[in-house]
A and B are shown apart, each in its own frame.
Chain A
Amino acid sequence: MKAFFTFLAVFLAIAGPARPMELRAPTEAVILTVGGAIAVTNYGDTAVFDRPMLEDLGGDVIVTSTVWTNGVSEFEGIKLSTLAELLGVTAGTFVSVALNDYNVEIPVSDATYLEPILAYKRNGSYLTVRDKGPLWVIYPYDGNENARTELIYSRSIWQLDRMIVEE
């Protein structure tokens, strides 16, 4: 599976539509700000995103249960690897910060290793702050036993607000 996704990622990188060299400016409320060591920016030294921009990057779905929710849910969001690729990030960590200033370091390697997504929908509905939105980092807990550790749980940051890439 991992190999398949690796292949897919490489395939997309080579044969997919050409990477936009410039990120367009957000038209709606910014829900994610990425700073630090990134190659592409659209707002000063940072890359800012509204929800349509993220949705345009291509949605991905993880169906899984979580320790914080009841039953199996379908999460839809943008792959962290897509974001990293988009921003030309190949190594280091995403220092991710929540609305309540909770922060955690997500290694860039996680993006291709466990392939988490930045979910903006749960069971077809957009996530609000009350539902741990607008972005919630979701790992494939049911699909990969390596995702069922306290370390990964701590990286499953919700109400994600901004990320700083550190090399």
Chain B
Amino acid sequence: MKNFYLDLFFGSDENSGRANRFLAGLTIVILLFATYSGWRVQNEIGNMTEAKNDVIPWNLGQLEIEFIGFSQSLRSYEESLGRADSEDVERLRSEIRTRFDIFYSRVATINESDIYRMVRTSEESSDKFRDVLTFTFETSELIDTLESLGVESIGRLREQTVLMHPTVRQTSLTGVKLQAIQSESYRQRVFETLAQYWLSVSGLFLAMTIVACLLWITARALRKQTVETLAYAARLKAVFDASPYPILVVDGGDKILDVNKAAEVAFRYSWHDLTALQIQDILVQDSLNHNADDTALRPEVFAETGQGSVGKSLLARRRDGSTFQSITFRSTATEGQSNDEIYVVRDITETLRHEKELLESRDHARASERAKERLLAVVSHEMRTPLHAILGAIEQLDGTWQSAKQEHLAGIAEDSARNLLHQVDNLLLVARDRSIENAVTRKPFDLRILVEKVIGANSILATRNGNHLALEEFPQDLGEVIGDPDRLRQILVNLVSNAVKFTKDGRITLKIRKNSATGSIDFEVRDTGIGIAQDGQERIFEDFYSTNWTDQTLSAGTGLGLGITRRFTESMGGSISVESGLGKGSRFYFSIPLEEARTRDRGRKLLSLDPRETAERIQDANIRRILVAEDDKFSRSLLRDGLHELGFEVSTTDNGRDAVRLAEQSHFDCIILDVNMPRLGGLEAASEIRSGNGASCSCPIIALTAHVFPEETERASAAGIDMILTKPILRQELLLVLLGLPENASAATPLIDETQFQDMIGLYGPAIADEVIWRYHQDCIQRLDALDGKANSKAAQERLLKELHTMAGSSALIGAQQCVAKLGELETLARSGKFSEAFDELPDLRSLLELTVQELQESLGNTGEPQPGRTNDPAPKSPPAN
């Protein structure tokens, strides 16, 4: 097929490039050197072929020969002069001239030419040559006038010539020496030239050797690289072929270049057919998300995230036109001019199907969970309502017993009913805790009050079992702490109630300490009861674990209590453990990180209620007429009878529709609505009462429900309900609520309602009242601070409504009636949409609050000493408020 992969990795090796450049440079250097060497050698050879000199010894030797020629012609002439043969004389005279001129020209050459410089300048020959020169010039004048010379003159010239001969000869012989010198220098030059030539050749040879070595190394490296590249390409090819995912190689013009087997199978095309197509022919954008004419695959699809492997959801089209969903990855292989793109296509049809199945099964599971939750809620409601009735009925019978036996049996019935209620509550807690991810709340609360309430709640059973229940240790300097009070209360209730349950005639003690090392609060609940066997200790914190009790009177429950305790402890970041042994009692220890809100050392008192005193105060309370709407017959009668006994005037109905009608017709001071009622539910009824213009449209409304879900609270608040109470409603709890409810709008509004305030002091005692005032003050300030802003957002407006409502509640409870009135005004403003006006009034509210708190504190100061004998004195027959 293609060498596509080979191309990817070829030619990009930096090392080979560097070697090539080095080699090229070296070659150029060597070539230059070789050229230079060649030029040198050629030059030298040229110098040798080009003769600077004529044959010197010959020429110099000729000097003497020509001198002899001249000398002989002179002698012949001299002899002929004696014979007086004129014809012969003329010929001989011409001969002399010629011979002399030849000699002359030789001398002139030696005198003129550079190559005979040595003859002219060397020490041994210069004098002699000068003599020869002088002789030649002097003789030339005589020769020019040869005809006029007599025999004597000729004879003198001949004698001079004879005398001159040795000098001429010496000059000629100088040539031999000159030749020797010249030969020497010539030899030297040849040697030098050859040496240079040898050097050049050696250099060239060396350079060529290096080049050869480098070439060999490069060739070997290239061969190795080629082998590696081929191996790599083969591996890639194997990956390409073996890939279960279709892989498409596409060129810059979107044309498909190569595909693997998986692509042939997936697209149902052969390799040849596929490689004749464009990528857009088989991959299109998902038409579900785009317009029909916009489905062509465009570069922007991938371009937006740039180069790299980014999966895109694309529709892949097979040969037969059918399509499948794909996730397609694209990467770019850039090498030189080619700019190929690799598409890896993943068929996600199966994945999508799995996803869908998973979603379905998840939805199914959720639906089951919801059904279970609903079942639990309904069951608990169905169980709690008759329990409510039983407990209420027993309560009603209180004081009517004819015999001790009756009273004893009634006590057993009440305990059993209460136990059952407790188990149902636990079941409900487990169900909720598992089904709903209940967030752990964080809010400030008074740990001391919480602990004392728990002790109060369990004191009846404790007394009945002959146990002494006491809080033995509590940190003196512990102020408010921040945490989840509801969960903490549940933990303590479970541990204390267990301890009380499993101990007879013993001691149950609570110890609470600050652990400065961990910053947590350590709790200890110790009893002297029956204890837990070693093997049971590890399992008691599991759900539904229950020890096998033989003593049925100490009846165990569902085994959920400690499981809940453990989960709650852990959800708050704490831990729980137990030390025990059979017959040795138990010591439960748990530690929870609770941040201290502030340090506030104040005396606290155990909350308790004295129903006889309370009943007296009801006479002074503002609430007289109460409307009760409750569909359950027993609950309704219990409520009616209980409230009636407390001195209220009670009207009842069994549905929400009638309640609305009654509330419209006549004035009530309070309306109690069950949430679940036929015809019209409690929330809907409240909504209608509030939105209507009836006689009781603004009176306080209390909702009753068996189960409170968070969203229900919100809905209740939106319907205009002031408070939600969870069934079973105990008389005392209801009383507390009624006493704390805001009274109806009243014309005369002193700063505080003295009667109600005094009731509160009577209820709590001055110390706690002081605490309550302080907390009320702090709470309101915090809420006002949080509202410090403008009504520019929906969230801020909702928050205003909520906070106004909450502050109105707490103000009413404490008797700050002018604040209540003011808050009511603001709420009316806000509800009619005048949010900014309401926000503008907030500073006034703040000053009013300060005045009120001042007044409350003064009023408290006038009350004097707290009334003694009201602590640790739980009413024996009244169930404690929890």
> Which residues of A approach B to under 8 Å, CB–CB?
67-70, 99-100, 102, 128-132, 145, 148-150, 153-154, 158-159
Contacts and interface: CB of A to CB of B under 8 A. Distances in A.
Contacts of A153: 51, 54-55
Nearest to A149: B51
A148 to B, nearest CB: 4
A158 B109 CA distance: 11
Interface string B49-63: 111111100000010
Contacts of A128: 101
A147 B444 CA distance: 125
A149 B55 CA distance: 11
A150 B113 contact: no
A150 B109 contact: no
Given A100-B66, A153-B51, A70 B108 contact: no
B105 A67 contact: no
Given A68-B113, A100-B69, A154-B55, A132 B105 contact: yes
Given A68-B54, A148-B52, 6 more contacts: A67-B113, A69-B113, A100-B102, A130-B140, A145-B50, A150-B51
Nearest to A128: B101
Nearest to A66: B113
A132 B113 CA distance: 13
Contacts of B202: none
Given A148-B50, A149-B49, A153-B51, A68 B98 contact: no
A130 B108 contact: yes
A131 B114 contact: no
Nearest to B136: A130
Nearest to B59: A68
28 contacts: A67-B52, A67-B54, A67-B113, A68-B112, A68-B113, A69-B112, A70-B112, A70-B113, A70-B114, A99-B102, A100-B69, A102-B62, A128-B101, A129-B98, A130-B104, A130-B105, A130-B108, A130-B140, A145-B50, A148-B50, A148-B52, A149-B50, A149-B51, A150-B51, A153-B51, A154-B54, A154-B55, A158-B105
B864 interface: no
B105 A131 contact: yes
A149 B54 CA distance: 9
B327 interface: no
A129 B102 contact: yes
B266 interface: no
Contact of B101 (A68, A102, A129): A129
Contact of A132 (B52, B97, B98, B109): B109
A16 B882 CA distance: 152
Interface in B344-384: none
B274 to A, nearest CB: 71
B710 interface: no
A148 B51 contact: yes
The 4 closest A-B pairs by CB, nearest first: A129-B101, A150-B51, A148-B50, A130-B104
B336 interface: no
B46 interface: yes
A148 B49 CA distance: 8
A97 to B, nearest CB: 13
Interface in B35-80: 46, 49-55, 62, 65-66, 69
Contacts of A150: 51, 53-55
- By secondary structure, the B interface counts as helix
Nearest to B104: A130
A67 B53 contact: yes
Contacts of B104: 129-130
Contacts of B66: 100
Given A100-B69, A130-B101, A68 B51 contact: no
Contacts of A102: 62
Contacts of A100: 62, 65-66, 69, 102
Contacts of B98: 99, 129
A67 to B, nearest CB: 6
Contacts of B801: none
Contacts of A69: 109, 112-113
A153 B52 CA distance: 9
B563 to A, nearest CB: 121
Interface centre among A70, A145, A150, A154 (most CB of B within 10 A): A150
A70 B109 CA distance: 9
B51 A159 contact: no
Nearest to B108: A130
A128 B104 CA distance: 11
B115 interface: yes
B144 to A, nearest CB: 10
Interface string B181-224: 00000000000000000000000000000000000000000000
Contacts of A145: 46, 50
Nearest to A101: B69
Interface in B710-755: none
B45 to A, nearest CB: 12
A96 B69 CA distance: 20
Contacts of B46: 145
B105 A129 contact: yes
Contacts of A68: 54, 109, 112-113, 115
B115 A67 contact: yes
A68 B52 CA distance: 10
Contacts of A132: 105, 109
Contacts of B50: 145, 148-149
